[in-house]
Structure 1
């Protein structure tokens, strides 16, 4: 099953909710993991099950990075706020580096997130048809 991580800076959490609500049918076929608060909001505002890691400020992004290293993630949507990110919010630098090392797609804005979700859905459908 396709496994996707969802992370959002505070000012992008509403954008994440919009994204997951729009793609809820697709995302319902994925195994979802998210940082704490983002995951909590997704479960409250969309009909999706999410494995919640710690909140970003206390290491949730690092837990997700470890899943990349272990080969357990197929993609990440990290909606970053480049203009007003707060010091307590996760830093994308280390996560970006580890995704590049392990060739895991990482989207940092909504439109790229849509491409990642649609692309992973297409790949999963191809795998199903081949099985």
Structure 2
């Protein structure tokens, strides 16, 4: 499965700690992340991650492109609901694409944990069926 990991600045510690806790599960998949988040996941959670640009520089759009091509299976996007983001339209577009293409999306640690546990159980095999039918 292809998994995107994104976090706003004030949520980067959370996504790193989450990824450390679920490193065994995450390491079995292809991981993609925006700039600094990807670097921190590589350095601190010992994960292999394909890094895109940072979110404000187009990283969210790069991940959105993968979603639109049905090449992304799961998105973990730890958002900061209290800080205005200069690239908010990109964030909204990314979330919309997840809805359009039925890509599971977590925007907080609680939902991310539910999705990771489902991933571990094999609950996302339907994503492979969708890819094969294209």
Match of 1:40 in 2: 39
Give the number of the structure with larger relative contact order, counting CA–CA contacts within 8 Å between residues 6 or more apart. 1
Q: How does 1:51-62 map to 2 (within 5 A)?
A: 51-62=50-61
2:34–2:52 contact (8 Å) kept in structure 1: yes
- Going from structure 1 to structure 2, the CA distance change for 1:110 and 1:57 (only over 3 Å counts) comes to same
Contact 1:61 1:90 in 2 (8 A): no
Q: What is the CA-CA distance between 1:84 and the residue it aligns to?
A: 1.8
Query: Deviation of residue 58 (structure 1)?
Result: 0.6
**Matched-pair contact (CA < 8 Å) for 1:77–1:107:** yes
What's 1:71 paired with? 70
Q: Within 1, Cα distance between the matches of 2:124 and 2:72? A: 17
Q: Secondary structure at the match of 2:46?
A: coil
- TM-score of the superposition, structure 2-length normalised? 0.86
> Structure 2 matches for 1:83-98, cutoff 5 A?
83-87=82-86, 91-98=90-97
CA distance in 2, matches of 1:111, 1:73: 21
Unaligned runs of 5+ in 2: 127-134
1:35-55 deviations in Å (ceiling 9; x for gaps): 011000100101110000111
How much has 1:61 moved relative to structure 2?
A: 0.5
2:2 counterpart residue number: 3
CA distance in 1: counterparts of 2:98 and 2:91, whole angstroms: 10
Q: What RMSD over aligned residues (CA atoms) do the two structures have, in Å?
A: 2.0
Cα distance in structure 1, aligned partners of 2:78 and 2:117: 16
The 2-side partners of 1:49 and 1:94 are apart by 26
- Size of the alignment, in residue pairs? 126
Q: TM-score, normalised by structure 1?
A: 0.88
